[in-house]
Structure 1
Amino acid sequence: MKTSTPAPKPSAFFKISRVLPFITLIMFTVALVHLFIFRVTSYSITADSYRTALMLVLILGWLTLPLGLIATHIRHPLLRFSAWGSYIWMGLFNFLFLFSLIEFIIQFIYPHAYSYWVLGICSLIGLWSLYKGLSFPKVIFHSLHRSEIKGLRLVQISDLHVGMLHLNEKWLNRIVTTINELKPDIVAITGDLVEGDFLEISPQLAPLSQISATLDKFYITGNHEYIHHSGSWEERLQQLGFSVLHNQNKIISYKESRVLIAGVPDRMIGRFISGSLSLPDKALSTGEPVQYKILLAHEPASVQDIKRESCDLILTGHTHGGQIFPFHFLVRLVQPVLKGFKRINGILVFAHQGTGFWGPPMRWFSRSEIVIFDWK
């Protein structure tokens, strides 16, 4: 297994300077979009006081946007608090832009004096999606059929992003309690477990050691484990009692059958650790007889990297089910599966919608979930 040695902790100035050009470019672009939103939604607002109030809200929202990104690199109580406003506005901004585009088209076809409907509908959708995003993950059951492993139960969690807003040790404790109540044989974490600096977030993962599985519990990395490149998450999960699969597999016995559980690091690993690759063919390769093969991979697109080997099921995450519509369409541009099951090249691929969230604590046309697979 390849692991990276934790580098010296970068200074706060270095962290800001590294992302400052990106933030500047994004802020300029987003400012133009905020101006577009104002022009469209205020079209039929005649009272100067209301137009001024709307403009001030949009300016304040625009100014909060970079705070969420900065807070992931610099952990400070004030930034952590302001990150809530930043990420919530990010979600509202998505809705405002979407419905402003719709209103712009409507105005072009049928001019009217009710452009402020956009503000009302976005407020309602924002509140609903915030409620959905902050709700505890739903427990979702799926039945699969394979007589050789009838009775086997696997619980999958993915994209927890521990360290993001309220996704902390207390929240993780509730996740662990829920998993143990389900009495799994196997537990799988399919990447993006964390969001933040290794030294700060690593201790918050302690509850994972209390997960109970009759056979084994497995972990693979996602892209966010490498984005912060501040320590070895694989070593930390080994300390917590997990079998870490880094282009490797492990064969477990269940009743009279043998099940191969393979795992790969995220496909982006080469961008962060020179010479490292995600190799599903290597992970799935075995000279031993097995009755069932499961591959754990963070991205559904990993199915496209399988050239020689095959498997019965791939469990993935990464997509968050789109998290907030209409990002569903952007996800589908780069991933073959948005959420749920899809058979690709004869392999059943499952995309988990995420147990936590990234960015806005919101969900619209998606859900946070803990997924149970029962073989019948």
Structure 2
Amino acid sequence: MSNMTSFLKFLTVFTTILGSAYIYTGIRLVEGLSLSGLSVYLFWGAIIVLILIIPVSYFLSQVTASEWVQSFFSYFAFTGLGFFTILFSLVILKDLATLLFRLTQLSLWFTLPQVGEGTYFKFSISLGLIGVAILLTLYGFYQTHQKLKTVLVKIHIKDLHADLEGFTIVQISDVHIGPTIKGKFLNRVVARINHLDPDFVAITGDLVDGPASRLKQHLLPLGDLKSKYGTFYITGNHEYYSGVHAWISEIKKLGIQVLINENKVLHHQGATVTVAGVTDLKAGSIVREHATNPLQAIQGGENSDFKILLAHQPNSIFEAAGLGYDLQLSGHTHGGQYFPGNILIYLAQKFVAGLHTYKDMLIYVSRGTGYWGPPLRIGAPSEITKLVLSKA
């Protein structure tokens, strides 16, 4: 009950903040578009619907058993959220540019030509911002549903054991099975992975977004994954919002090995590979016994020829570096997912996407296989990652 109360408080605060952004955007656009009469009421009615549809879609998901109804309202709510996030960002950029222009005028001894003061100019700019936001939303929606990339990454290791040349890992991350992503999408993912013929599959967290009682059937395709040494899974932050113990139980039923601050040593020809996994960085604040522990995770596997750490958040590397790991595989960031997230994400993450080096470790950060919230991808395409070990 306390978890539900906390979530409802979060939803209330989120809706209030979001509503404030929507109202600000509406005020700026009404002014620019010079709306009046009935058009003003219709405009504000649309904004109110977009504000309220998110909490409404959540409550509908709790009271209706119809997946079609849940998916329809969730798609409507989250696509609207994505559109307005983009539009709000564009309006803010426009207002900042206007403010900068006026400050420039004040700082100069002469007056610059008055640009953008006419009614027609304001109307054109406001209409243009809406048009750009619509086009970006449509593009992002298309990218999300049609462009699932397979990314090939070669991991060059100076002293790689000869028997590990060509050793292959396929990573998926941040699938977010939930309101708008279902088993049909996961079927596509599994078929693609099996075609890649990996030595093992890594699922680096945020696999689900909702309770196991409602969504467990959509994970069934994972039982068809094929690889030489099996599939390894670690928890992300969203599992802890969705009932982590129930999900771990369901995932184990599919034959997937769950790593909770532990490891599995693989014997590949004449070489050994340690596959270690830690819980999400925030796990300990929700489930105390799940506090992340990369030191514990490597114990017993320290002497392997190659040591891999699966850690949902890239920032786990700051604690893992120096413990003997060669490579960390992470997700969490979504690469920022879409504008303006793919710019703002750099304020919170040192490693956003791709392959990087930190001290004595390599780290690869997936942009994610699904998406969270708005079904949009702009500048950060979804990916299934094929990582191949190779001697430098």
Cα deviation, residue 256, structure 1: 1.9
Q: Check if 1:157 corresponds to 2:172.
A: yes
Match of residue 4 from structure 1 = none
1:82 aligned residue (47, 65, 73): 73
Q: 1:308 to 1:102 in 2, by over 3 A?
A: closer
Cα deviation, residue 177, structure 1: 0.9
Aligned ranges 1:30-45 → 2 under 5 Å: 30-45=18-33
CA contact (8 A) 2:170 2:198 kept: yes
4+ long deviations beyond 6 Å:
none
Cα deviation, residue 182, structure 1: 0.8
Give the secondary-structure state (helix, strand or coil) at the position aligned to 2:290.
coil
Distance 1:214 1:374 in 2: 14
Q: How many residues are aligned here?
A: 363
1:46 aligned residue (31, 34, 37): 34
Match of residue 143 from structure 1 = 154
Match of residue 106 from structure 2 = none
After superposing the two structures, state which structure 1 stretch, 28-37 or 47-56, moved more. 47-56
Aligned ranges 1:1-20 → 2 under 5 Å: 17-20=5-8
Give the counterpart letter for 2:127 in structure 1: Y
Cα deviation, residue 52, structure 1: 4.1
Q: Check if 1:214 corresponds to 2:228.
A: yes
Aligned ranges 1:204-283 → 2 under 5 Å: 204-229=218-243, 231-283=245-297
1:91 aligned residue (82, 85, 107): 82
Distance 1:317 1:288 in 2: 24
Distance 1:246 1:349 in 2: 20
CA contact (8 A) 1:139 1:370 kept: yes
CA contact (8 A) 2:74 2:179 kept: no
Match of residue 305 from structure 1 = 319
Q: Identity rate of aligned residues, in percent? A: 31
Cα deviation, residue 47, structure 1: 4.7
Give a deviation string over 1:73-107, Cα, whole Å, max 9, x none.
Answer: 56643344211111011101111111101221344
Distance 1:288 1:20 in 2: 44
After superposing the two structures, state which structure 1 stretch, 332-341 or 252-261, moved more. 332-341
CA contact (8 A) 2:205 2:234 kept: yes
1:66 aligned residue (50, 55, 70): 55
Q: Check if 1:29 corresponds to 2:34.
A: no
Give a deviation string over 1:102-138, Cα, whole Å, max 9, x none.
Answer: 2213444343423321111111111111111222521
Cα deviation, residue 314, structure 1: 0.2
1:332 aligned residue (341, 346, 352): 346
Give the counterpart letter for 1:111 in structure 2: G
Q: 1:329 to 1:136 in 2, by over 3 A?
A: closer
CA contact (8 A) 2:234 2:277 kept: yes
After superposing the two structures, state which structure 1 stretch, 71-80 or 37-46, moved more. 71-80
Please identify the structure whose Cα radius of gyration is greater: 2
Q: 1:217 to 1:21 in 2, by over 3 A?
A: closer
Question: Whose helix proportion is higher, 1 or 2?
Answer: 2
Match of residue 358 from structure 1 = 372
CA contact (8 A) 2:356 2:364 kept: yes
Distance 1:16 1:282 in 2: 32
Give the counterpart letter for 2:47 in structure 1: L
Distance 2:273 2:64 in 1: 42
Distance 1:15 1:283 in 2: 29
Q: 1:135 to 1:339 in 2, by over 3 A?
A: same
Cα deviation, residue 71, structure 1: 5.5
Q: 1:186 to 1:16 in 2, by over 3 A?
A: closer
Give the counterpart letter for 1:56 in structure 2: G
Give the counterpart letter for 2:134 in structure 1: S
Give the secondary-structure state (helix, strand or coil) at the position aligned to 2:175.
coil
1:346 aligned residue (356, 360, 371): 360
Distance 1:289 1:15 in 2: 42
Cα deviation, residue 26, structure 1: 2.8
What's the C-alpha RMSD, in Å, of the aligned pairs? Answer: 2.2
Give the secondary-structure state (helix, strand or coil) at the position aligned to 2:369.
coil
CA contact (8 A) 1:68 1:84 kept: no
Distance 2:349 2:251 in 1: 27
Distance 1:315 1:287 in 2: 17
CA contact (8 A) 1:16 1:70 kept: no
Cα deviation, residue 308, structure 1: 5.1
After superposing the two structures, state which structure 1 stretch, 149-158 or 276-285, moved more. 276-285
Cα deviation, residue 44, structure 1: 3.1
